[in-house]
Structure 1
């Protein structure tokens, strides 16, 4: 069935406070390694070479607000890699899990989520626009099963 409107996911209940507190205390490296591996599999093969060169060697921090989860990544030597939990970041992106899922599936775009304040981007504006425009050009990274 083809619809002309995005399918909205029901709001996810927030995780229990104790779980969020526990997740927020965990080291940043394990989730960063997992996210880097996922991006190397799903995004990296679709990333144009010129964009990869422009995006390289900048640290991006991604926070999943409702879970207290943070990841730091950088594109180095042609691959996404975890970045240390110290030092400056070029860009910091904060949203709830459902907003990231809507972005990955193409249900919403970053502009809409940004203006609805469901997505916050802080840091190097030029780098942020480059990243956003690159991801927009690639399209959804997750697809619904047929």
Structure 2
């Protein structure tokens, strides 16, 4: 069961239309499941390194050191394997044995990143699961709760916003880009 999604209402009717689907459509998931896993893991670890790595407490880093971690996006049928090397997160090749796997739908991971959903609520509603080393899972969850993480704002990735940021970086800007 998924939580309600953002909706747009018409003034003429009370019907609402979801802005984003709550699950990845099956044809898209079938395509995603055929893609190589390593590039996705590299993108995830880059995001983790930018947002989390510098804030990671040393005791948590010691516990995570060389652990085989996996994020599984259930409805998209993709997995991201990675590890903590002591100074940064690094992608790993897919391996049968892992220390901790955290699973949820793409929608639920997005809501977590946007701070619109609490991990405990998702866990107790069986929409987020952790498999493997339970102690490690609790440490990861508690650490993420304690860190000052940026809230994922999808609006900042709209094409116009991205072009405006690129234009600001380049002398003379890009034609047609408005700040």
Q: Does 1:90 align with 2:87?
A: no
- Structure number with the bigger relative contact order (C-alpha 8 A, sep ≥ 6) is 1
Query: The residue matched to 2:103 in structure 1 has which SS?
Result: strand
The CA distance in 2 between the partners of 1:135 and 1:65, in whole Å, is: 21
The answer as to whether partners of 1:36 and 1:73 remain within 8 angstroms in 2 is yes
After superposition, residues 20-99 of structure 1 pair within 5 angstroms as 20-99=29-108
1:106 and 1:140 in contact (8 A); partners too = no
Task: Identify the residue that residue 11 of structure 2 maps to in structure 1.
Answer: none
Q: Which region of structure 1 is more displaced relative to structure 2, 10-19 or 59-68? A: 10-19
Aligned residues: 138
**Equivalent in the alignment of 1:110:** 119
CA, structure 1 residues 102+140, in 2 after alignment: closer, same or farther (shift >3 Å)?
farther
TM (norm. structure 2) is 0.70
Change (3 A) 1:100 1:15: closer
Query: Highest CA radius of gyration, 1 or 2?
Result: 2
Q: CA deviation at 1:143?
A: 5.2
CA distance, structure 1, for counterparts of residue 36 and residue 112 of structure 2: 26
Any unmatched runs of 5+ in structure 1? 1-7
SS at 2:111's partner residue? helix
CA distance 1:133–1:127, change in 2 (3 Å): same
1:60 Cα shift? 1.1
Using the TM superposition, give the Cα deviation of residue 17 of structure 1 relative to its aligned residue in structure 2, in angstroms: 2.2
Shift of residue 105, structure 1, vs aligned partner: 2.4
Q: 1:139: how far off?
A: 4.4
Partners of 1:109 and 1:89 in 2: CA distance = 25
- The alignment's TM-score, normalised by the length of structure 1, stands at 0.84
